[in-house]
Amino acid sequence: MHRTHVSCTVNGDQVDFLCADSTSLLDVLRDELGLTGAKEGCGTGDCGACTILVDGRVNCSCLMFAPEAQGRDLTTVEGMASAEGLHPLQQTFLEGAALQCGVCTPGFLVAAKALLDTNEDPTETEIRYALAGNLCRCTGYDKIVRSVQEAAARMKGT
CA dihedral 113, 115, 116, 120 (to 10 degrees): 180
By beta-carbon proximity to other proteins, the closer residue of 14 and 44 is: 44
Least distance in Å: CB of 106 to other proteins? 13
By beta-carbon proximity to other proteins, the closer residue of 32 and 68 is: 68
Binding test (CB under 8 A) with other proteins, winner from 10, 130, 136, 148: 130
151 binds other proteins (CB under 8 A): no
User: HSE (CB half, 13 Å, CA atoms) of 145?
Assistant: 15
E strand intervals along the chain = 4-10, 13-19, 51-54, 57-60, 73-75
Query: What is the chain's length?
Result: 158
103 binds other proteins (CB under 8 A): no
The Cα–Cα gap between 20 and 87 comes to 34
List contacts with other proteins (CB under 8 A). 2, 4, 21-22, 24, 43-46, 48, 51, 54, 57-60, 62-65, 67-68, 70, 111, 114, 129-130, 132-134
